[in-house]
Structure 1
């Protein structure tokens, strides 16, 4: 009898043990759960020539920025699938390999072609989804809509699948259909509670509809089931820290930072390490709360090792937060020079918004709030191009609002806040009191 994955797609394998371990590993990966690497290693041990297990393992390495290992596994998968693999498996391996190698336009094109033919290949479909997916980091201004439309196009192939409901619901939320997105995401979450991506997506919906206290309770009740080594463990607590800031509770936000977000304490992937730490410390400071200089210096030292060179715009913007907050003008100038060179060569799909944000953050740190506001105002609608989620990108709008406040433009700042409160009426206004003082 032919062996299949959980979505009914045939696997070029005869080992039931390898197939079972692979199915487990894929499910754990789609759930953002611990044990993913171990399950995939068991699949490889049971059948060393099973290409799909190798490429899945490569993807886990890529999550943790283990580039050499990821590329080695991807190369091995390509060789193996050429010897023993169906057309679907060869396309599967090639698409994931292109993504792992950072060849985004080619990976997106390959993904679209693959999903058109094999829409139930969830591993490939997962590539463009989420805040750190191929679409988000493509530089597209409409990546939120693109994710939603892609999910709509394949929804009839998935039905009540726990993974698909959670991810398609989140795509709805990010695309502005928050009420429906939350409902769909919560349905997926109910089908599999051991799903960190679903818990995370629900928190995003709660962020968007202003259910801050409800989000806090969700984290408190659900997180004990999720090990600290989980890929989203720290980031889920980052969401809880944002909720604390909505209440003006800087002490709680700093306690969460010290416990799980500080680089010396976290077990998160490198991109989460720098984005979660930089954005939380920056928000604390921008809202008028004291942030010990030592926290910035420690986090900056770790960040410079993790992302020494310019590359991914989302990472570059967060590295600019470190450079600005620590007054490391040389590091910021060097990063900006590379960014601007890539822009001039047409190799920066996100466009001029990236250097503009970096300059604005430096101006803010120098207390030149007029320059910060003037630099950000023309590009605010383009911030979406850097990728990430709306909750993450709101940092830039927050910086703009505080710059207006500190530059004496309170009516303009208040109009932006009123628009936000109109979208999210349950939000409190507490966090802005210290910023306006």
Structure 2
């Protein structure tokens, strides 16, 4: 706590608690700590992480200027080793090097497994880089240093549950996530981990019931309100209840302003777009919110959802302009800048595929997405979020007559999630394309049974009720 007075330490402690709860008050507490002690090392570190991990370019610029001024003011040799290690991790992040930042935070965790900030910041870095193994093992490697009566043990379990889910350990993820929420009912990340687990298992009924039973705990007062509502909408779409999903969209998602909230909105509308429901007015409003957020390259995952929005709104020219800017960006040498590699390897192919889909060039979509389908994790997000890319590939394979590719993709999906109505509807569409009416009817019947008697095909494809 070098450079901190007693009041600053109290604010910092509260800020860490707010951070682990994903509550909006974290910013106020972090700023209050620095108002009390401007050269408080860990206070400046925390403020920098908060600015850099929003994926907002403007926040990053502010963090870069503020942290640079802090480093120029102090004698870093006066800092303790762990403080210097955090400063080094922040600097890597400021330089655009997510991977080095994550590695330095992992080193801190080896020496100090109970450093909650190192765990939380590292966990978010792993999420933004799509590293499922580290999402699991960064937290798992620290877990035995924590105890049941630790104030934030539940939050550590919540992070671990999400890592387990992303790494495919669904039974264990559910068990750990439920325990995290039992310890702290307002742990929105723990709730989010359980919700992801149900999504990956195709247990959309369990997911809706889980969220309904805990609505006051996750629906207000945190940075994650909109995202958890997005998960609620995914469950509604899986059951064929488009009206419910759109009602939530209009009440919650349509008002989003951060990149994270805008991309949730785009990902939901694109799922409808893939099924023939265009939602032009909703797309138009969403597309208008993106330009200032993607005016400069910062995070490829955001770029993809901006392009989604432009294509959905019929603004192909804006989508192509963004792509041209990113093509120029990746041509410049940027050693160690993680986003450049993300953009080059995944972001640009996906953006180009979205434009191709908008133009009806389904062969082009398949040619762009099929070769990268097993590494789309490289540009971040979760399995549930990246599924929109896989669905785009599948839809174009069906529409473009690439039946062998479509068969492989549908077979993979049903093998992993046999209780998904969507997967069986795509099996039906493939059977129709092959002229097998009996198999198509059987698949549609299975989809209807899984959706609880609702006709998911009609509900998903048709206009909002």
Q: Same fold (TM over 0.5)?
A: yes
- Which residue of the partner structure matches residue 397 of structure 2? 404
- Which residue of the partner structure matches residue 125 of structure 2? 134
Is 1:95 the counterpart of 2:89? The answer is: yes
- 1:189 is aligned, of 181, 195, 199, to 181
Is 1:235 the counterpart of 2:227? The answer is: yes
Contact persistence 2:135–2:166 (CA under 8 A): no
- Which residue of the partner structure matches residue 280 of structure 1? 268
- Which residue of the partner structure matches residue 392 of structure 1? 385
Q: Output the CA distance in 1 between the equivalents of 2:247 and 2:79.
A: 50
- 1:366 is aligned, of 349, 354, 359, to 359
| 1:167 CA drift (Å) | 0.9
Q: Output the CA distance in 2 between the equivalents of 1:413 and 1:43.
A: 55
Q: Output the CA distance in 2 between the equivalents of 1:296 and 1:89.
A: 46
| 1:290 CA drift (Å) | 4.0
- Which residue of the partner structure matches residue 377 of structure 1? 370
Contact persistence 1:310–1:335 (CA under 8 A): no
Contact persistence 2:173–2:193 (CA under 8 A): no
**SS of equivalent to 1:225:** helix
Q: Which runs of 4+ in 1 moved over 6 A?
A: none
Q: Judging changes above 3 Å, is the alpha-carbon distance between structure 1 residues 57 and 436 closer, same or farther for their aligned structure 2 residues? A: closer
- Which residue of the partner structure matches residue 442 of structure 2? none
- Which residue of the partner structure matches residue 246 of structure 1? 238
| 1:14 CA drift (Å) | 6.7
**SS of equivalent to 1:176:** coil
Q: Output the CA distance in 2 between the equivalents of 1:337 and 1:421.
A: 37
**SS of equivalent to 2:290:** helix
5+ residue gaps, structure 2, are: 335-339, 427-456
Is 1:156 the counterpart of 2:144? The answer is: yes
| 1:411 CA drift (Å) | 6.5
- Which residue of the partner structure matches residue 101 of structure 2? 107
- Which residue of the partner structure matches residue 58 of structure 1? 48
Q: Output the CA distance in 1 between the equivalents of 2:74 and 2:16.
A: 19
- 2:11 is aligned, of 1, 18, 21, to 21
Is 1:71 the counterpart of 2:64? The answer is: yes
Contact persistence 2:106–2:122 (CA under 8 A): no
Q: Judging changes above 3 Å, is the alpha-carbon distance between structure 1 residues 415 and 150 closer, same or farther for their aligned structure 2 residues? A: same
Is 1:309 the counterpart of 2:304? The answer is: no
**SS of equivalent to 2:125:** coil
| 1:409 CA drift (Å) | 4.5
| 1:116 CA drift (Å) | 3.0
Q: Output the CA distance in 2 between the equivalents of 1:370 and 1:81.
A: 59
Is 1:43 the counterpart of 2:33? The answer is: yes
- 1:167 is aligned, of 155, 159, 177, to 159
Q: Output the CA distance in 2 between the equivalents of 1:149 and 1:14.
A: 32
- Which residue of the partner structure matches residue 429 of structure 2? none
Q: Judging changes above 3 Å, is the alpha-carbon distance between structure 1 residues 345 and 57 closer, same or farther for their aligned structure 2 residues? A: closer
Contact persistence 2:8–2:36 (CA under 8 A): yes
| 1:108 CA drift (Å) | 2.9
5+ residue gaps, structure 1, are: 1-10
Contact persistence 2:362–2:400 (CA under 8 A): yes
| 1:312 CA drift (Å) | 1.6
Q: Judging changes above 3 Å, is the alpha-carbon distance between structure 1 residues 91 and 155 closer, same or farther for their aligned structure 2 residues? A: same
Contact persistence 2:188–2:217 (CA under 8 A): no
Identify, as 1 or 2, the structure richer in helix.
Answer: 2
Contact persistence 2:277–2:461 (CA under 8 A): no
TM-score (norm 2): 0.81
TM-align CA RMSD: 2.7
Contact persistence 2:198–2:204 (CA under 8 A): yes
**What is the aligned length?**
416
- Which residue of the partner structure matches residue 318 of structure 1? 305
TM-score (norm 1): 0.86
